[in-house]
Amino acid sequence: MCGIVGAIAKQNVVPVLLEGLLRLEYRGYDSAGLVVSDGKLLRLRTTGRVAELGKLSTDRHAKGLVGIAHTRWATHGEPSKRNAHPHFSGESSKVAVVHNGIIENHESMRLRLESEGFVFLSDTDTEVIAHLIAFHLQNKPDLLDAVCTSIAELQGAYAIAVMQESHPDRFIVARNGAPLLLGVGEEGNYAASDASALLQVTKQMIYLEEGDVAELSSDGYRIFNCTDGKIDKEVVRKVHQSALTNEAIDLGPYAHFMQKEIFEQPSAVANTLEMVFNAQSISPNLFGDAAESIFSQIDSILILACGTSYHAGSVARYWLETVAGLPCNVEIASEYRYRDPIANPNTLVVGISQSGETADTLAALKYAKSLGHRHSLSICNVAESALIRQTDLCFLTRAGPEIGVASTKAFTTQLASLLLLTITLAKMRSKLSHDRECEMIAALRHLPVALQLALQVEPQVKVWAKRFAAKRHALFLGRGVHYPIAMEGALKLKEISYIHAEAYAAGELKHGPLALVDSDMPIVAIAPNDVLLGKLKSNLQEVNARGGELYVFADADSQIQQSNNVHIIRLAEHAGVLSPILHTIPLQLLAYHVSLQKGTDVDKPRNLAKAVTVE
């Protein structure tokens, strides 16, 4: 989703802005732009990639000591140069604005500003902000004051950066509901949507809080609280030393971030589980100091998440019910937030999110609290994210930065974390003997090695990928705890190869999707050697009898035979409770290699964004 970079320094900031935008490319975008001041504002915009913006900058000799830049993921108005940010307003005192988020009252604001004589040149909600600031500058000549007054009139979510032609000695940023942080450097000061954009210049980061407005100059920064359109007081925010490294966000020897992230899974899971590897038992404190007390009060679980994180929650439901004996609901956050669910104050609400910035997940959690839910836990990959700040308890998946839009290592580390949660709750509810707990810890210890073995099926998967590349549709089947894994496999394939893929609980096949089965429809089945294998085999027979072509991911010991239309890849071993984690790997590899075959943009699939910070 949109990315913002702002910089003010003692030397030309154009290279910093461009490098910052490159680092934010993974978030997803369809146009890019920047403005720098060299006495006058120079604006460059393109519907091409950041590299194209770089070329434009060279051709136009763009330079300046202050600038703001943006990658736009279209919401209001098509992707076009005219709609790309920055947006301008004002003649005598020109302002430039970049924005991430959605201004919900943009229509009424537009009418009001048009009646004041402002002329709109784009279809965006962002242009409203530029004109509104220019409007207030007529009476409040100070940009900081004008920004504070303007944001009080905006409804919706935003992170903005604003600069003014007549005052190239500073720029202003503000956040409310969309991510934004400051970077404090030796040679200047910076702002960006996430830390990866600023590692090139500093590791000192300040995570702005909701409602913060900051003024940045080359010598310093000041952060303010605004109330009712006026600066209330200056506030102090902690400076964090970012633990991110450039290596973590570099491709290294890999061709794509998705490939890198698939192959990083053994170490990502090992990092996530590090604190339990040497333990003989698992302590609730892993989830926060208050976890023991909170966990002892709860009688059910409600999981809220989107996309791949929702699939992780859907796997966890089976674990929580079977191992911990806890009733569990899993809800798509964007649906939950608009329903009238009945709250149970003894439910633990669990928000799962890689980014911790997904607007629907944040809003659903807030809504759950407003309904009377008292206890919340986040499972998240970003330590300083909004999600973590919103919940009583948290568990960090230590997957490292995930850049590919299609989530991979975040998913498997979420699963590992949810299994830890299951074991903890099962123990506290006396559902798990010490011996069984030790067995599960031993299985978790073995998980990185098991993942490494699972990755070895890649050459066989590549052969299948060649056949899939020519297909237009695919069905994915699974049963029980592997049904959400089938959903995740289908999501991966459609996200990056654009092949229409649907997942079904295998028992549902005969209630509709069987009508789609013919020799042209590949059917992927997840067939671990578990108690449901017999049932699944009957479902596969139904496909086979109708001429369908089956691609089965089985375990080494699954009694299932290869035949004319039944192709089998076997994982090295059956992993018991960990099986869904391991069965994810070949599905990720399949999507990756089909995408390579088709030549689609693996890491930045069309129309998609990594962190969905708008509704």
**Whats the size of the chain, residue-wise?**
615
Of residues 352 and 540, the one with the C-beta less far from ligand G6P: 352
Residue from the set 355, 424, 497, 613 that interacts with ligand G6P by CB under 6 A: 355
Of residues 310 and 464, the one with the C-beta less far from ligand G6P: 310
Count of other CB atoms within 10 angstroms of residue 455:
18
Spell out, one character per residue from 356 to 375, where the chain touches ligand G6P: x when CB under 6 A holds, - when not.
--x--x--------------
Of residues 3 and 284, the one with the C-beta less far from ligand G6P: 3
Residue from the set 309, 397, 417, 424 that interacts with ligand G6P by CB under 6 A: 309
Q: Which stretch binds ligand G6P (CB under 6 A): 103-111, 166-174, 355-363, 542-550?
A: 355-363
Per CB under 6 A, contacts with ligand G6P among 386-405 are: 405
Vertex 347: Cα angle to 342 and 351 (nearest 5): 95
Minimum distance, C-beta of residue 607 to ligand G6P, in the bound complex (Å): 10
2 given a catalytic annotation = yes
Contact between 354 and ligand G6P by CB under 6 A: the answer reads: yes
Tell me the CA distances in angstroms from 591 to 235, 341, 465, 495, one per residue in order: 47, 36, 8, 9
- CA nearest 304: which of 273, 341, 268, 278? 341
Residue from the set 159, 214, 306, 481 that interacts with ligand G6P by CB under 6 A: 306
Contact between 383 and ligand G6P by CB under 6 A: the answer reads: no
Specify burial of residue 553 (Cβ count, 10 A radius: 0-12, 13-18, 19+): buried
Of residues 316 and 523, the one with the C-beta less far from ligand G6P: 316
Residue from the set 308, 408, 424, 613 that interacts with ligand G6P by CB under 6 A: 308
Classified as helix, coil or strand, 337 is coil
Of residues 244 and 428, the one with the C-beta less far from ligand G6P: 244
- CA nearest 162: which of 139, 138, 130, 204? 130
Q: How far apart are CA 211 and CA 88, in angstroms?
A: 23
Of residues 406 and 487, the one with the C-beta less far from ligand G6P: 406
Q: How far apart are CA 257 and CA 23, in angstroms?
A: 12
Residue from the set 207, 612, 613, 614 that interacts with ligand G6P by CB under 6 A: 612
610 given a catalytic annotation = yes
Minimum distance, C-beta of residue 312 to ligand G6P, in the bound complex (Å): 8
User: What's the CA dihedral at 253, 258, 260, 262 to 10 degrees?
Assistant: -150
- CA nearest 415: which of 309, 257, 527, 532? 309
- CA nearest 446: which of 315, 277, 255, 324? 277
In 394-481, alpha helices (H): 409-428, 434-455, 458-468
Contact between 176 and ligand G6P by CB under 6 A: the answer reads: no
Q: Which residues bind ligand G6P (CB under 6 A)?
A: 306-309, 353-355, 358, 361, 405-407, 608, 610-612
Q: Which amino acids are annotated catalytic?
A: 2, 610
